Structure 1
């Protein structure tokens, strides 16, 4: 999946490589958001709770944050409270991800399976309506 996502990501103050990030994961959510956007701030809280609930026993879901924040300081403030991975504010992949997935509005959560296949462009609705049960919906979508 490195051809799709790249090789390294931020995890807090450290970096993590793709193989380590994807170890034992069934799904990856590409989360597009920004702190200046009230719906993004609200959804981040819901996503964080869902992420922690899904991964309570075993980490099967990872998220990669792609920022629409206005500057690096805003990105850092926003990302500080997120328990998942991100691409850096100045990382050229941000623009590529936005184009590749056709992102025109935020917050948006695109769900990929471990093969890099798109499960849904509307992971936000899944998370908001089903919370942790969305993982079962995504598993059933693959069949």
Structure 2
């Protein structure tokens, strides 16, 4: 069986609890959200991610949004997270998984999103565009279905 891509990585949940990302994300499709408090386009896109996350949570589907911040200081990240009412998990600043993800998924600009399975296999390399397109069409449920197609779920549950 393939190793969970996120095993050994700490993840801070909304309530401040630190968990092993590998365990928390097991069996889930993961929306990696690359953002920063100092990024104007990120401040515009984060409310859309919040809307996405709320809609995901309402469906009880095995999907999780994870913030990989490019902020410099924890207080910047915390203020940004709180001021936008975020409730998804956050990888601690400067955790090596952030650089690993930036490189692996060829992230060149902020904000960016990639949808991956727990093993790090990319499901949607253009997730930001997907979110914006399906949101404009008021069809977020279709986007969830696209990401959680039978093949994707069977692969991560195998």
For structure 2, the residue ranges without an aligned partner over 5 or more in a row are 153-158
Residue 126 of structure 1, CA deviation: 1.1
For structure 1, the residue ranges without an aligned partner over 5 or more in a row are none
The corresponding residue for 1:4 is 5
Aligned length: 142
TM-score where L is the length of structure 1: 0.84
Q: 2:64 aligns with which of 57, 62, 65?
A: 62
Map 1:21-40 onto structure 2 (within 5 A).
21-22=24-25, 25=28, 27-40=29-42
The corresponding residue for 2:91 is 87
3-state DSSP of counterpart to 1:54: helix
Relative distance call for 1:57 and 1:139 in structure 2 (3 A) is closer
TM-score where L is the length of structure 2: 0.77
Instruction: Judge conservation of contact 1:66–1:87 (CA < 8 Å) in 2.
Output: yes
Relative distance call for 1:140 and 1:58 in structure 2 (3 A) is closer
Provide the rounded CA distance (Å) in 2 between the counterparts of 1:6 and 1:23: 9
Residue 115 of structure 1, CA deviation: 4.5
Relative distance call for 1:18 and 1:72 in structure 2 (3 A) is closer
Q: Greater strand share, 1 or 2? A: 1
Provide the rounded CA distance (Å) in 2 between the counterparts of 1:43 and 1:100: 22
Instruction: Judge conservation of contact 1:112–1:119 (CA < 8 Å) in 2.
Output: yes
Structure of greater Rg = 2
RMSD (CA atoms): 2.3
